[in-house]
Amino acid sequence: MREILRMITPGRCLLLFLDYDGTLVPIKRTPDRAVLPYRRKRFLEALSERMFICIVSGRSLADVRRCVGIEGLAYIGNHGLEARWGRRTWVHPVAKKRRPALGWLLKRIEARTRRFPRLLVENKGVTGSVHFRRLDPVLVSPLRRIVADEVRRKGGTFMVTEGKKVLEIRPDIYWDKGLGIRKLMNWLPRERGTVRIFIGDDRTDEDAFRALGGDSITILVGHGRKTRARYRLADVERVWTFLAHCLRLLQDVK
């Protein structure tokens, strides 16, 4: 952590991009339980007065804004397919067109998995999630086959990726969290010496690590897998410890 903090130089333009589930809040058994505590909201508000902060999530834009509940931040939702900063909101045009097809696809998956107890199929507007954290492990392989089969029936218009106990269904287009971040950065004023930081925990965050490149501070939360990130933090609590150190550094500026 000390090595990372040496690069947080007061006076430089700092852009902080943060994943949500598994980074700012522990992953919960159901997504609706992962709400940011009040004291941490107040902390992020204080930090946002000293650096630009954007929350980057696989959740829908509306959902991640509800969970965080801070108006002054920027938000990227649905794995980069939606973005909002200030009064400006953007949705990927192809994803927007495929909303009806996505809804039909998710209904097909729901119909074929009614016998799977405690499975959650979530329509997030331009993407879908099939949450199997509470599912009997014996049923996970059949679930993967059903989802893959239904996606294949759509003729290449959607694709499936897997995160932590979740199957993500997205439009089969060249777009991800990393490109969503680049899209939003185009809205920001360009300054020399800008320090870009991204912290994330899931496989989908690897796209952001790659997009930001080797001159950025990229941090994986957790252990046990290969990553493009330059650094690691052990868990959610260490993320907040790191952010607290950043705030102290910036508060020391006279």
Q: Tens digit of pLDDT for each residue in 235-249?
A: 999 999 999 999 998
Lowest mean pLDDT among 5-9, 82-86, 154-158: 5-9
**H/E element, 159:** strand 158-163
19 is catalytic: yes
Q: What confidence category does residue 254 fall into, taking pLDDT thresholds of 50, 70 and 90?
A: very low
What is the model's pTM? 0.93
Over its C-alpha atoms, the chain yields an Rg (Å, rounded) of: 19
Strand order in the sheet with 120-123: 120-123, 128-131, 166-171, 158-163
Question: Per the residue annotation, which of 19, 21, 201, 207 is the catalytic one?
Answer: 19
Domain ranges across the chain: 2-92+175-251, 95-171
CB-facing half-sphere around the CA of 113: CA atoms within 13 A: 29
**Contact predicate 20/68, CB 8 Å:** yes
Residue 225 CA to residue 40 CA, distance in Å, equals 28
The answer to whether residues 21 and 27 touch, using CB atoms and an 8 Å cutoff, is: yes
Q: Confirm if 108 and 150 have CB atoms less than 8 A apart.
A: yes
pLDDT tens-place string over residues 182-225: 999 999 988 877 899 999 999 889 999 999 987 899 999 998 78
d(CA 150, CA 112): 10
CATH of domain 95-171: 3.30.70.1020
Q: Tell me the C-alpha distance between 123 and 106, whole Å.
A: 7
| Measured distance CA(103)–CA(100) in Å, rounded | 5
**Domain range 2-92+175-251, its CATH number among 3.40.50.2300, 3.40.50.1000, 2.40.30.130, 3.20.20.70:** 3.40.50.1000
Residue pLDDT, tens place only, 106-115: 999 999 999 9
User: Which amino acid, residue 16?
Assistant: L
Nearest to 196 by CA among 4, 40, 3, 21: 4
